[in-house]
Amino acid sequence: MPPFLYTLLVLLLLLHIAPWCSYVAAADDTLRAGQVLAAIGGGRLVSRNGKFALGFFQPAANITGSKSHEHTTSPWYLGIWFNKIPVFTTVWVANREEPITHSSLNSTQLKISSDGNLVITVNHVDRGTESLVWSTHIVNRTKNTTNTTSVVLLNSGNLALLTNSSQQMLWQSFDYPTDLTLPGAKFGRDKVTGFTRRVISKKSLIDPGLGPYSVELEATRGIILKRRINPNVVYWQYASSTSSSLIPILKSLVDLDPQTKGLINPIYVDNDQEEYYMYTSPDESSSSFESLDISGRIKLSVWSEAKQSWETINYQPDDPCITPATCGPFTVCNSNAQPFCDCMVGFSQKSPRDWEFGDRTGGCMRNTPLNCTSVKNMTSSTDMFHPIARVMLPYKPQIMVDATTQRECEEACVSSCSCTAYSYNNSRCFVWHRDLLSANLNDGIDNTAEDVLYLRVAAKDLPAPSILRKNKNYLIVGVVTVASILGFGLIMWLVVWRNKLRLCGLPLWKNQDSGCGIMAFRYTDLVHATKNFSDKLGGGGFGSVYKGVLSDSTCIAVKRLDGASQGEKQFRAEVSSIGLIQHINIVKLIGFCCERDKRLLVYEHMINGSLDSLLFKKSSGNDVVLNWNTRYQIALGVARGLSYLHQSCRECIIHCDIKPENILVDASFLPKVADFGLAALVGRNCSRVLTTFRGTAGYLAPEWLSGVAITPKIDVYSFGMVLLEVLSGSRNSAETYNTSGSYYVKYFPIQAIDKLHEGDVRSLVDPWLHGDFNLAEAERLCKVAFWCIQDNEFDRPTMGEVVRVLEGLQDTSMPPIPRLLAAMMQECDAPSST
C-alpha cells in the first residue's frame, strides 16, 4: 500500500474512533473546548458548592408544574437557577430575546465557538448549516482560538468565560443581568468605558423576555426606575448624592427581621473608574437576590427555610400603583386592594391567563363595543358615561380649550368615536382617545387625587342609569339640604341599627379585598325593592329568591330564608363565608337584613340565571343552547372559583353543595359559584372538618356517606359530576326505559367512562351542538371529570390542578374506572325482565 494511502486510512480511522466533541458531564462546573451542552438530555453545569445550575429550561413547565413539558410547544431558554431550592427560580437567562422553539430543540447546543466565544447554536442537518441563537460577542478575538477559553459556573452564580492560560476573565454573566442581581454582582456603571449594567424586568412568570420596566445607575440622576415603552417615563429615582444614607437604611431593613439579620451587607463604591452598588452575604448557605419584578418595583428577597418560600424584605417604590401602566389599559389600580389591579366597569381581562402569570400589559377590553358612527363629520352615539370618583387621571389627556362647562366637555368627547373618557374640573376639560393608562384610585397616602373620570361605556354595560347626572347641580343642593335637616336623625338611626345587628350576633365587617363594607338593609327597603316579593326567581329547601331593584337602579337578588332554626344556620353560614371573600367567579354578597325573625341575603343579580336552566331546558323553541366555548369557559370559571375558596382565602371554605343550580351566569356568561348556606369553614392549619350530612343526591362524594371528616375533595367530586352534565347537556341521574318487555337503566357516567376508554368521546357531547365543538377540549374535560369522581379522595386532583389542566398548562392521563361505577356496570350488563 502506498504511504499516502496508509496515512489517509489511519486518519479516517482516528476520525471514526474519536469524535470531534464530547458531551459535558452532568455534575461538572466547567464547559471546555470541544465539549457541548445539549438542550435535550438534561445536561447541565453545577457550581462546585452545588448552589447553582446552568442548563436549558422551560419556564412554563417549571412554573405550572407540568410533568410532560418535553412534549409541549412552549419555548426553551438557557439559564442559571438555584439548584437546591424547591421553588424553581432563575437568576440569569442568556437568550431571553431569542427563545428556542420546540421544533429545533433536538439540534440545539451550547459550546465554545472557533473564535473563543460561548455560543448557542442550532444545527440544520437537512441544510447542512448552523445558525447562531446567542453569543457572548467578545470583540477582537481571532479565529481558531477555541482551545484558549473555557466556561466556569462559579459558586456565586456567575458564569465566567476564562482564558485557559492566565484564567483572565473575558466575559461574565454578572455584567449582563436579566431581571435580578445576586450577592457579589455589581449594579452600576464604568466611568471610563461608559458600560452600564442595566436590569430589565421580565414579561411574566412564564416569559423571561424583555418586560416594560428597567432600572439603572445614571451619572447625574443616580438610581432611576423607568418604563421603557409607552408611556416612556421615569417614575422613581434615588440620587447618588444621598447614597451614603441609603446603605444604613437597607442594612436596618434587613436586620429588622430575626431570620434575615446579618445575612446581607450592602456596599456603595464611587471612584475615578466606576460607580456601583453591591451587596454581599456573609452566610454562604443563605440565598437571596434583588430584582425588578413584573410590576416594576425593586424588591429584596431572601429564602426562608422555615416557610419554604421567598420572603420579600423591602419594596421600592412602596406604592404598587406608582409604576406607570402597571395594570395595563382600561384598568384601575387600588393600592389598598389585593390584587391591586382591576378592570374598569364594562371591561374584562383581555387575557386571564396572562394576568394569572403577572403579565397585565394587555389590560382589559370592552365587553360591548361602543355604539358610535361618524358620517360626514357628524357623530351619532347612544353610549353613556360612568363616573370613577377620586382617581388620578390617566396619561396623555387632550385639553379642550373651547369646552368651558361640563356639558360642553362631555359633548366634546361624544363628538369623536375614538374618545374613551373625559374629566372636567376647575373649568378645565380633558378628554382621552383610545387606551386609558394609569387610572389610580385615591389611597389616602401617596395618592390623594379627588378628580372624577367619566368613562365611556356601552349603555347595556352601565351598572345603573345615569340620567340623574344631567341634574347634578340640583341634586347636590338637594343632598346638602336633606343632609343638614336629617343629619342628627341619621346618626341616631345608625346607632340603633348597629345595636340591632349586635343582637343578631353578626359583626359589621369591612371587606379586605374591595375596601367596601357589606350593607345592612332594612326589611321595609327590601319589601319595596322586591315589590313585596312578587317577582320570584327560584326557591329551595331554605327559602325563596326574588328579583329586586334598589333606589339607585341596581338589580339585586334577595334570598328570603324560611324556618327559625335551619334558616338561621344557613344565614350565618352564608354571611360568614361569602361575606369575607371577593372573586370574579364567586357571587357577590351586597348585604343582608337581620330584623327580629327576618333573615334575608342580598346578592348581585345574575341575568342569565343558573346553569341548570341553560343546560337542561333546551327544546325546538327559543331556549338558549350554550355553545361549546361558553360551556368550556363556564367549567373553567367554576374551577377557578373553587380553587380560590380552597386555596386562596384566609380561611379554607368548602362549599358542600356544588351543582348546576348553585352556579349562576351573568350577562357575559361568566359563571359565579353561589349559595353558601351549607358551606363549612376550615382553618388553614386544619385539613378536615366533621360536619353533619349535607349536599344534594347525585353530587355527593362517597366518603360523606361513611360519616368521616370531610376535606375540600368533596367539592372536587361534585365538580366532576357537574362537568359530565356540561359535556352531555343532560342530568346524570339514572333513567329507566323499556325495550321488548325488559327494563334497562341508563346512567350517563357509566356510558361516559366506557366511551372514554374506547376513544369515542364525540358520542358523549350534547347532540344539540350538532358536532360543533372542540374534540381535544371535550376529551380533556371528560378525563378531568373522571379523575374528580374517583372513589378515593386521595386519587382526586386539587382544584388548582384542575384549573391548570383545563387551561391546557398541564397534561392528564387516562383515569381509571371508579370502583362504584365498575360495580354498577356489572349489574347493568344484563337487562332485568319484568
Q: If residue 201 lies in a helix (H) or strand (E), which one and from where to where? A: strand 199-204
Q: Is the per-residue pLDDT at 283 higher than 60?
A: yes
Q: Give CA angle at 765 (761, 770), nearest 5°.
A: 120
Q: Is the per-residue pLDDT at 166 higher than 80?
A: yes
**Where does a domain end: 176, 205, 232?**
176
- The CATH number linked to 622 is 1.10.510.10
Same domain? For 573 and 616 the reply is no
Residue 201 counted as domain residue: no
Work out the pLDDT band at 225, boundaries 50, 70, 90: very high
Q: 435: closest CA among 314, 331, 531, 525?
A: 331
Please list the active-site residues: 657
Please write the tens of the pLDDT for every residue from 419-467: 999 999 888 999 999 999 999 998 877 788 889 999 999 988 876 544 3
**Where does a domain end: 584, 604, 624?**
604
Same domain? For 624 and 596 the reply is no
Predicted local distance difference test score (pLDDT) of residue 551: 83
Q: Is the per-residue pLDDT at 724 higher than 90?
A: yes
Same domain? For 628 and 732 the reply is yes
List the alpha helices (DSSP H) in 158-302: 243-255
Q: Helix axis angle, 713-728 relative to 799-806, nearest 10°?
A: 30
Same domain? For 632 and 774 the reply is yes
Same domain? For 25 and 149 the reply is yes
Q: Is the per-residue pLDDT at 494 higher than 50?
A: no
Residue 647 counted as domain residue: yes
Residue 93 counted as domain residue: yes
Work out the pLDDT band at 667, boundaries 50, 70, 90: confident
Work out the pLDDT band at 698, boundaries 50, 70, 90: confident
**Amino acid (1-letter code) at residue 492:** M
Same domain? For 556 and 642 the reply is no
Same domain? For 586 and 633 the reply is no
What percentage of the chain exceeds 70 in pLDDT?
A: 76
Q: Is the per-residue pLDDT at 495 higher than 90?
A: no
Please write the tens of the pLDDT for every residue from 576-616: 666 667 788 998 888 888 888 888 889 889 988 899 988 98
* Segment 797-813 mean pLDDT: 92
Predicted local distance difference test score (pLDDT) of residue 470: 42
- The CATH number linked to 65 is 2.90.10.10
Predicted local distance difference test score (pLDDT) of residue 598: 85
Predicted local distance difference test score (pLDDT) of residue 310: 92
Same domain? For 721 and 765 the reply is yes
Residue 578 counted as domain residue: yes
Q: Is the per-residue pLDDT at 254 higher than 70?
A: no
| Residue with more model confidence, 529 or 687 | 529
Please write the tens of the pLDDT for every residue from 16-32: 333 334 555 446 899 99
Predicted local distance difference test score (pLDDT) of residue 642: 94
pTM for the model = 0.56
Please write the tens of the pLDDT for every residue from 285-306: 899 999 999 999 999 999 988 8
Please write the tens of the pLDDT for every residue from 68-88: 444 467 899 999 999 999 999
Q: Is the per-residue pLDDT at 192 higher than 90?
A: yes
Work out the pLDDT band at 477, boundaries 50, 70, 90: very low
Same domain? For 618 and 596 the reply is no
Residue 666 counted as domain residue: yes
Q: Is the per-residue pLDDT at 765 higher than 80?
A: yes
Same domain? For 569 and 653 the reply is no
Residue 136 counted as domain residue: yes
Same domain? For 563 and 617 the reply is no
Please write the tens of the pLDDT for every residue from 767-798: 999 999 999 999 999 999 999 999 988 899 99
The maximal CA–CA distance of the chain, rounded, in angstroms, is 122
| Residue with more model confidence, 619 or 734 | 734
**Amino acid (1-letter code) at residue 682:** V
Phi, psi of 431 (to 5 degrees): -130, 155
Predicted local distance difference test score (pLDDT) of residue 360: 94
Please write the tens of the pLDDT for every residue from 496-547: 444 444 434 343 333 333 334 578 889 999 999 999 999 988 776 567 889 9
- The CATH number linked to 511 is 3.30.200.20
CB 603 within 8 A of CB 589: yes
Work out the pLDDT band at 307, boundaries 50, 70, 90: confident
Measured between alpha carbons, how far is 744 from 742 in angstroms, rounded to an integer?
7
Same domain? For 662 and 794 the reply is yes
In the predicted model, what is the mean pLDDT of the chain? 81
Q: Is the per-residue pLDDT at 639 higher than 70?
A: yes
CA 355 to chain centre: 4
Relative to beta strand 519-520, strand 419-425 is unpaired
Q: Which domain range does residue 534 map to?
A: 506-604
Residue 38 counted as domain residue: yes
What is the number of domains present in the chain?
3
Q: Is the per-residue pLDDT at 208 higher than 60?
A: yes
Q: What torsion, rounded to 10 degrees, do the Cα atoms 351, 355, 361, 364 define?
A: 50
* Segment 368-395 mean pLDDT: 82
Q: Is the per-residue pLDDT at 11 higher than 70?
A: no
Measured between alpha carbons, how far is 163 from 170 in angstroms, rounded to an integer?
7
The CA-atom distances, in angstroms, between 76 and each of 24, 90, 235, 591, 662 are 19, 13, 33, 49, 42
**Where does a domain end: 578, 604, 630?**
604
Q: Which H, E and C letters describe 434-455, residue by residue? A: CCCCCEEECCCCCCCCCCCEEE
Predicted local distance difference test score (pLDDT) of residue 22: 58
Residue 675 counted as domain residue: yes
Please give the grid coordinates belonging to residue 9: 486510512
What percentage of the chain exceeds 90 in pLDDT?
A: 47
Measured between alpha carbons, how far is 289 from 279 in angstroms, rounded to an integer?
10
Range with the poorest average pLDDT among 87-91, 125-129, 548-552, 553-557:
125-129
Relative to beta strand 519-520, strand 589-595 is parallel
Work out the pLDDT band at 335, boundaries 50, 70, 90: confident
